[in-house]
C-alpha cells in the first residue's frame, strides 16, 4: 500500500496538487494538519481514502478526535499528530513518550515546516515538511510504502517549475 504524506499546506492547493500528482498509484493520502481541509477539497480530483489530523491553524476544529490518531495499516501502528501539542520545536521527546504509550511503530507529524526522518529506539519518526511554506531547502512531502507490516518511507521534495 502506497500512502502520500503531506502537512502544512496552508491553502496552497497548487503545490499540494503537484505533490500528489507526482506520486504514482497511491492508495491513501495522509494530511498532518494546518489546513487539512485542503486535502478534502483536492481529493475530489484523486478520490483516494484520506486520513487527517488538525493542526494549530485549524482553529475551528474543537473535535478532540481530530487532534491525533493511531491507525493500523497491515499490522503497522502509525501515530498521527500535527506535533504542536508536543513541543516539537524543542525536540521529539514528548512525542516519543506518547508513541511509546501507544506502542506505535511509526510517528508522522508536521508543524515545524522542516523535513525530519529518524529511527529512535525502534520508532520511526517522519515529518514531511511543509508543502507551502518550507523552513528548509524546499517544499516537502513523502511517501510510505507498506507491504505486510514492512515499510519504507521516501522523503520527497517539490520539483521546481
pLDDT in tens, 102-127: 999 999 999 999 999 999 999 999 99
What is the reported pLDDT for 62? 57
Whether the pLDDT of residue 63 is over 80: the answer is no
pLDDT in tens, 21-59: 999 899 999 999 999 999 999 999 999 999 999 999 997
Superfamily of chain region 2-157 = Metallo-dependent phosphatases (3.60.21.10)
What is the reported pLDDT for 5? 98
SS (H, E, C) 62-119: CCHHHCEEEEEECCEEEEEECCHHHCHHHCCHHHHHHHHHHCCCEEECCCCCCEEEEE
pLDDT in tens, 81-105: 999 999 999 999 999 999 999 999 9
Best CA proximity match to 9, nearest among 99, 159, 128:
128
Amino acid at each position: 500500500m502506497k500512502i502520500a504524506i503531506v502537512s502544512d499546506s496552508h491553502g496552497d492547493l497548487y503545490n499540494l496538487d503537484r505533490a500528489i500528482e507526482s506520486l504514482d498509484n497511491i492508495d491513501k493520502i495522509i494530511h498532518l494538519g494546518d489546513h487539512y481541509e485542503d486535502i478534502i477539497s483536492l481529493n475530489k480530483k484523486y478520490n483516494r481514502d484520506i486520513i487527517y489530523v488538525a493542526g494549530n491553524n485549524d482553529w475551528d476544529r474543537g473535535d478532540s478526535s481530530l487532534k491525533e490518531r493511531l491507525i493500523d495499516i497491515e499490522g503497522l501502528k502509525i501515530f498521527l499528530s500535527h506535533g504542536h501539542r508536543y513541543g516539537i520545536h524543542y525536540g521529539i521527546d514528548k512525542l516519543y513518550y506518547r508513541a511509546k504509550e501507544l506502542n506505535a511503530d511509526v510517528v508522522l507529524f508536521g508543524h515545524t515546516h522542516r523535513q525530519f526522518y529518524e529511527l529512535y529506539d525502534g520508532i520511526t519518526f517522519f515529518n514531511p515538511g511543509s508543502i507551502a511554506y518550507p523552513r528548509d531547502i524546499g517544499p516537502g512531502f513523502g511517501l510510505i510504502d507498506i507491504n505486510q507490516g514492512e515499510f519504507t518511507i521516501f522523503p520527497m521534495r517539490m520539483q521546481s517549475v
